[in-house]
Structure 1
Amino acid sequence: MIERFADLSTPTVADACVRLGVPLRAAPAGVRAVVAGHRLAGRVLPVRHHGSVDVFLEAYAHAAPGDVLVVDNGGRTDEACVGDLTALEAGTAGVAGLVVWGLHRDTPELIEIGLPVFSYGSLPLGPTRLDERESATLTSARFGAHLVTADDLVVADDDGVLFLPAARAGEVLTTAEGIRRTERLQAHRIRAGETLRDQTAFADYLDRRAADPAYTFRAHLRRVGGAIEE
């Protein structure tokens, strides 16, 4: 299942969540891969950073192969909280990648290591503070407006980062794969000369909307079997 998620784009997964009524939980805009093109999907391994790498080492001891370390550093832009050693050690624990609500450093080394790392960007400064641990340090992580735990999956690519409940992963995956098939077919037909307006019977939609202002394009797409937005 994780491999199938890694093959899907985050926009497609987001559209599937909307179609199914799964609450949307996206990382704040600006969280990007250190290496463009990197993709990541796995179970959330949450950790809250308080100024020392010891929390990462402790979290790795509880990692399952394919987990993704999700680091809550409060979105800080005055310090980098992960670097090359954190990424190298992640690999020894079987962790598939890192998603950081904050900054990274050691960019050339991270590129060489090749482990997917997502963050706001880079800064040479490491932490100089040491704050008190919280009771939830190893059980949940805040990421923007959202709280994530080991009951969640994370999916990330060049468009950003999404979190979704693992309990609904199967239905989200099936729906997302269906949306992707439809969109690929639509794209193929556009390239072959059939406009999207024709494919979606757009003129019919406009007529129906004129007669019924409550008739939405999303409802129309579902009626005709199209996929553009959800």
Structure 2
Amino acid sequence: MLKGFEGLSTPLVADACVRLGVELRAAPTGVVGVVAGARVAGRALPVRHYGSVDVFLEAYGAARDGDVLVIDNGGRTDEACIGDLAVLEARAAGVAGIVVWGLHRDTPELLEIGLPVFSYGALPLGPLRLDGREPEALLSARVGPHTVTAGDVVLADPDGVLFVPADRVEEVLAAAAGIAVTERAQAARIAAGDTLRKQTGFEEFLERRAADPSYSFRQHLRRVGGAIEE
């Protein structure tokens, strides 16, 4: 999965989702990588946290190589739910990365371990609670307004975290690769002095929009084969 994501980015994947009509699901703003430049792609391994790491250890028992642990900690900012030992155990279980809707701790150790971890940030405080466990504890994780299951793929990089249905991910990545080719060609032409406005026939767009206010720039880009937004 990471090989398929190589050379792409979450913005390209997001644009591909829009082009293909795939629902956009992203972790909330602020969920970023602990390790600078971290990237990960793999099947979601969902888990809900209730105050103890036991649920993570149980989830690891079902992990397949390359899975990405997706932790639902309700977006809490009053406790860190994962630290170095849980991350080391994740790596030992073959987990490729971790996405936390919440906080982490043990930052220096996580940097040394190097496993991609994405969270809201660090806090030294661990959980002081032990809540009742839901039946969905190992079946789904909530990340912001979205629900993530094992039927999803996680794609994460310095721009954020996306969740894509596993049965659409190949199609989405192929579309993202096509958009990337177009954008790179456009960037090369801009660097050579051919402005984006000229490339996209922007003056023509303005004329057509004046005659037809419903004519959007997105429609125009698709007609001329450009890419900058979807």
Output the aligned Cα RMSD. Answer: 0.7
- SS at structure 2 position matched to 1:41: strand
- SS at structure 2 position matched to 1:25: coil
C-alpha distance in structure 2 between counterparts of 1:119 and 1:6, whole Å: 22
Q: Does 1:205 align with 2:205?
A: yes
- SS at structure 2 position matched to 1:219: helix
Paired residues for 1:180-219 under 5 Å: 180-219=180-219
- SS at structure 1 position matched to 2:167: helix
Residue type at the aligned position of 1:18: V
- SS at structure 2 position matched to 1:155: strand
Deviation at 1:90, TM superposition (A): 0.7
Question: Is the alpha carbon distance of 1:140 and 1:62 closer, same or farther for their aligned partners in structure 2, counting shifts above 3 Å?
Answer: same
Q: Does 1:130 align with 2:150?
A: no
- Partner of residue 73, structure 1: 73
TM-score normalised according to structure 1 size: 0.99
Deviation at 1:36, TM superposition (A): 1.5
C-alpha distance in structure 2 between counterparts of 1:208 and 1:14, whole Å: 28
Q: Does 1:146 align with 2:146?
A: yes
* 4+ residue runs over 4 A deviation: none
TM-score normalised according to structure 2 size: 0.99
Deviation at 1:171, TM superposition (A): 1.0
C-alpha distance in structure 2 between counterparts of 1:110 and 1:193, whole Å: 44
Q: Which runs of 5+ in 2 are unaligned?
A: none
- SS at structure 2 position matched to 1:167: coil
C-alpha distance in structure 1 between counterparts of 2:7 and 2:51, whole Å: 35
Paired residues for 1:38-187 under 5 Å: 38-187=38-187
Deviation at 1:217, TM superposition (A): 0.4
CA contact (8 A) 2:83 2:106 kept: yes
Deviation at 1:6, TM superposition (A): 4.3
Residue type at the aligned position of 2:196: L
Deviation at 1:114, TM superposition (A): 0.3
Between the two proteins, the alignment pairs up a number of residues equal to: 230
- SS at structure 1 position matched to 2:12: helix
C-alpha distance in structure 2 between counterparts of 1:225 and 1:142, whole Å: 37
CA contact (8 A) 1:103 1:120 kept: yes
Q: Which runs of 5+ in 1 are unaligned?
A: none
CA contact (8 A) 1:6 1:155 kept: no
CA contact (8 A) 1:51 1:127 kept: yes
CA contact (8 A) 2:2 2:40 kept: no
